[in-house]
Amino acid sequence: MQLKKRIVIFLSLSLILTACKGTDVNLSQTQVVSQSVFKNSSQVEAEFFEHYKADKTANWILGLEVLKLLDQQENVLISPVSLSIALAMLQNGASGVTQEEILNILHRSDSAMVNQYYNTLSSIFEEVESLEVGNSLWIKEGIEPKIDFVDQLKANFDAEVHVANFNDVATLEAINQWIERETKGMLKDTLGEIDARDIAFLINTIYLKGEWEYPFEANATKESLFTLFDGRQIDVEMMHMRENLNYAETEWAQIAEFPYTNGLTMRVILPKTDVESALAAVDLNLVPYKLEDLNVSMPKFEYEVKNALTEVLKEMGMVQAFDPYGAEFQSMIDLRDENVYIGNIFQHTKIINDEKGTEAAAATVVEIEATSAEFEEQPINFHMNKPFIYVIEENVSGVPMFMGIVYKP
């Protein structure tokens, strides 16, 4: 099930995300039964979204925090909203400090309000052409999630829930095909393997495709020099146009807005010194824009990245969720003599930017594991519950210092 959604996402790239119908996946596995249904926009009070207008920068803040930690002077592409939706779903299964830390990452404090907020965003996104959001929970056969957790995912995030055999390679293929389908074929082979410790996957996908309101003329595209961070120059295909666009200038950057025809905008920040300085100074809420006549040069670009987010999120303060013995996810899955925790969170993204517009896709994957599932093989029993012999040796010489037999402890 897909939701069409819209958003102006963050910083220099207002992510235009995308997903294409690929090969249909056989999802005939038993689905978890839930009585809840997704709430559409007619069920959401307008006053609620008004309440959150002051808090609309939360995804920007999250995106900037992650961007700064991922910046290694290489191409970076993240989807703050994909990550935030995945974490918003995840917090429904958490409690105590674990939930509090996830909410802090989201710059929120109330779990119920988080659910209602993202439900409201979904109804808004649904009205935007060529923007789609997909959510799913994949559960290992034999594992029973809490029905309240499943209800929240279905009611507030329109999530698909699938039970599957994690020991069957077909399940890995089915998950990857689901992601590929939801991202219109842009993201392939997102998940590399299903580990023996994995008991569930919580996944969000975002797709968006936007055509420029003011497209670049293809015959104006020419090879031009692009200066790298270390001063070296390379040849790139550079698009050119002259147009009246919203523009702002600060001490640290020039900023321009490039609108798409479906109500989305790419905001480009061109640092006056370097990217690090601009990231440290950026506060786009305080930047005044005005229409200016701009002579624009924009490179065509296409790249794909996988961002490991576990250590990034730990550095941002989300620690306990990854602790095998301290994580509190009993509200998601409660296993006897085992503890549920997050083994890994990563994001797979791709973007294509050319004369016609921008297409991009993101998938955020939360790998959920259980402590006792760490051992792929059954342990060998060594129960000293009958008479036994023992020897105490000196390690270098191998001389037995003591030898004994225990008949009665």
Residue 62 contacts residue 83 (beta carbons within 8 Å): yes
- Express each pLDDT in 203-232 by its tens digit: 999 998 889 899 999 999 999 888 888 888
pLDDT of residue 256: 84
With a pLDDT cut of 70, the percent of the chain lying above it is 77
pLDDT of residue 145: 95
Q: What is the mean pLDDT of the chain?
A: 81
pLDDT of residue 167: 94
Q: Is the pLDDT of residue 10 over 80?
A: no
Q: Is the pLDDT of residue 122 over 60?
A: yes
Lookup: tokens for 160: 């698909």
Q: Is the pLDDT of residue 318 over 50?
A: yes
- Express each pLDDT in 28-80 by its tens digit: 444 554 555 565 544 555 555 555 554 567 888 888 888 888 877 788 888 88
Question: Which range among 22-26, 137-141, 349-353 shows the weakest confidence by mean pLDDT?
Answer: 22-26
Identify which has the larger pLDDT, 238 or 403.
238
How many other CB atoms are there within 10 angstroms of residue 395's CB atom? 6
pLDDT of residue 50: 57
The b-or-e profile of 105-121 (16+ CB within 10 A means b, else e) is: bbebeebeebbbbbbbb
Q: Which uninterrupted H or E stretch holds 213?
A: none
- The structural domains of the chain, ordered by start, are 3-211+302-372 (3.30.497.10), 218-300 (2.30.39.10)
Measured between alpha carbons, how far apart are the two ends of the chain, in Å? 64
Question: Do β-strands 160-164 and 131-140 pair in parallel, antiparallel, or remain unpaired?
Answer: parallel
**Nearest Cα to 166, choosing from 157, 158, 175?**
175
Q: Is the pLDDT of residue 125 over 90?
A: no
